[in-house]
Amino acid sequence: MIFSTLVGLPRVERPTDRDPRGGRRKLARALSNSDQKKKKNMSDEVPPNTDATNGEDKKKAEAITIRVKDQSGEETFFKVKPNTKMEKIFSAYAQRKGVPASALRFLLDGTRISGDQTPKMLELEDQDQIDCALEQVGGGLRC
């Protein structure tokens, strides 16, 4: 390579002479700088919202974790939003267990939960437990 520079030919770069990242460092810096400029411009245009209602909206949209416990004691966890219908949780649980949803009954503190209710309606909090049992037909009368 030295010979080519002495003769007057353009120098050929070896891979070790270049930036180890293939010359991408300058491009990354340029993109980073343009992103920072965009962020500054966007923050200058829109003043921050300091309403108390903004914090309340975020709490409403936050997901809660619900534990579904079956008769054998196995727990399955679901992370849902407060306005999600319980029917969606029931069908997901039934699908995981490989059982038809119509064969399962879901109870909260001994009271049956219907599919059109939501965690918000049931006043469920994070890590609350729902019991699941297979539906029984008969068995209540003794002869």
Given a cut of 80, whether residue 125 has pLDDT beyond it is yes
Q: Report residue 66 as tokens.
A: 């619900």
pLDDT exceeds 50 at position 30: yes
- In the chain, the percentage of residues whose pLDDT exceeds 90 is 50
104 in a structural domain: yes
Is residue 79 included in any domain, yes or no? yes
* pLDDT band (50, 70, 90) for residue 135: confident
For residue 41, being part of any structural domain is answered with: no
Name 131's Cβ contacts closer than 8 Å, sequence gap at least 6: 68, 69, 106, 107, 108
Q: Which residues form the domain of 104?
A: 62-134
Number of domains in the chain: 1
pLDDT for res 13: 54
80: domain CATH number is: 3.10.20.90
